[in-house]
Chain A
Amino acid sequence: MGTDSGTLKKINLNVPVTLDDLKAIEIGNVVYLNGVVYTAREGVYQRVIEDGWKLPDDFASISNANFHCSPAAVRDADGSYRVGAMTGTASFRFSKWLARWFEVSGARIIIGKGGMTFDDYKKYFVPVGAIYLTTVGYGTGALLGRGIKKVRDVRWYDELGIAQAMWMIEVENFGPFIADSDLAGNSLFERENAKIKGNIDKLYEGTKPPALHRYGETDDRSEELI
């Protein structure tokens, strides 16, 4: 099942994941998940970490995989939920909450769009033994939608709305994702950026910056625009 991973190594993980499961993951692996995955982003982070809202008991034994996303979903009149597609949202902006989030939630997999910085991996992920999986594309919403077996619970729907509520979903063959980080804190995105850099430098050779600069792009307040 799933997209032909070509030369890339493909791994299936059961959630909640164990440390041993994660040891097998190398950056650039294609990963599919089975079990329970939940969404949590700024709305949940703020309420749980800053306002003290309570997570379910034994939360990490239900799931330790946190997806940065909001589903294309709707609550029907009978109270049931329909989920169409799922697509990750950019994770870099959630970094300030992560240290505390790992602590209170026991999360060991963060899923989202675009990875986080090398520094975030070193500071927050490596100490607790967590990894980052990036969604693919990033528009593979329909493929991820297919991996959803059912919505198990939706917490704080009325308080936070569809986009920010915590969706707990049962998944099967949920993917594809690509491992951006491993337990050592290596980053696939940063490795790829480094590979491309030389060519970019060559492309820019001899080009000139525009006549008018932009104030505020550096912290030097004595700068002028011309």
Chain B
Amino acid sequence: MISQGTIKETALKLMEKAAIEIPDDYLSGLKKAAAAEDGDLSSFVLHAMLENYEAAKEDRRAMCADTGVPRWYVKMANEARIDGGPIALEASLRGATAESTNGVPLRPNRVHPLWRTDHNNNCGIGAPEIEYSFEPDGEWIDLTTVHKGGLFGTDYRMLFPGDGIAGIKRFYLDSLIAFGKRGLACQPAIIGVGLGGSKDISMVLGKQAACLRTVDDRNPDPKIAALEIELKDLGNSIGMGAMGFVGKSMVIDCHIEVGYCHTGGMPMSVHAFCLSSRRAVARIHGDGRVQYRTDPAWFTPYMRRETVTWEPTAEPSRKSI
């Protein structure tokens, strides 16, 4: 049985880690980009960012004052049992979000869309979002918090099969350039592309592809993996770098996730996970042990299953972490 005390304490620590510590995979991706960048202005920006991550860690202060919109992803293994059930779990996650807003401190970012009511704690109707997924074996739960920034950098479009790969590339370029000018998307970013699903799922897949997969992780479908690399290179060939200055670092990595869609359509979304790619993960085991990491390991073979039922394979369904 996993206790609420452990969940709350872990969630508080995750909020702080996400806000302050840039994940290693993004950091090394950005270092590579900085080494290759030759535009003088873009290169200055990347070096300032690298210094900013250090300052945040040294001073234990938020790396970016824009909190973005803190949200939670919960993955539950099939045998996990939670004290107080899902209602208590959600209360702990909301509680940790509110407390760390004052603790770290984080800027309260969440307001009512019409009345602009601000509870000064990043909680409200539908906030923070909590999404769930499940895994076949185990007694653990994985908690991931993502503080995704960006009023800009995300877009959706209904494409059709006839638009083809060329249409995908065109809309990808449209989004990158639209939000890349003046650096509105705070690039270089991890770009997530959601293909298929229904409209809402296409958006969800794109956001999860950006926020829940690490730099250099490839889609298991080799053709999609090749397209990821092609799109990454395409983004970096625009001639635009950080803040929209002349340069070549636009995309640290590109991740594509797909879902089956209506036979007549091909919905597509594009999401940019910015220079403050904030995510933190912990696994809470059934016996109360807690392990922290930065790879959400969200997209598992089980998540991407195509069959009617799940046939346990020889391979473990979750990737090893």
Contacts and interface: CB of A to CB of B under 8 A. Distances in A.
Given A139-B186, A189-B244, A85 B120 contact: no
A138 B48 CA distance: 10
Contacts of A84: 61-62, 65, 104-106
A195 B246 contact: yes
B49 A193 contact: no
Given A72-B106, A143-B55, A137 B275 contact: yes
A87 B55 contact: no
B221 interface: no
B123 to A, nearest CB: 15
Given A7-B40, A84-B65, A143 B159 contact: no
Interface in A107-159: 113-115, 134, 136-146
Interface in A33-54: none
Chain A contact residues, majority secondary structure: mixed
A200 B177 CA distance: 9
B65 A85 contact: yes
Of the four ranges (under 10, 10 to 19, 20 to 34, 35 or more), the interface on chain B belongs to 35 or more
A141 B66 contact: yes
B157 A200 contact: no
Interface string A68-105: 01111110000000101111011000000000000000
B245 A141 contact: no
B184 interface: yes
Interface in B135-184: 149, 151-152, 157-160, 162-163, 166-167, 169-171, 173, 177, 181-184
B240 interface: yes
B239 A114 contact: no
B41 A72 contact: no
Nearest to B107: A72
B102 A212 contact: no
A163 B275 CA distance: 22
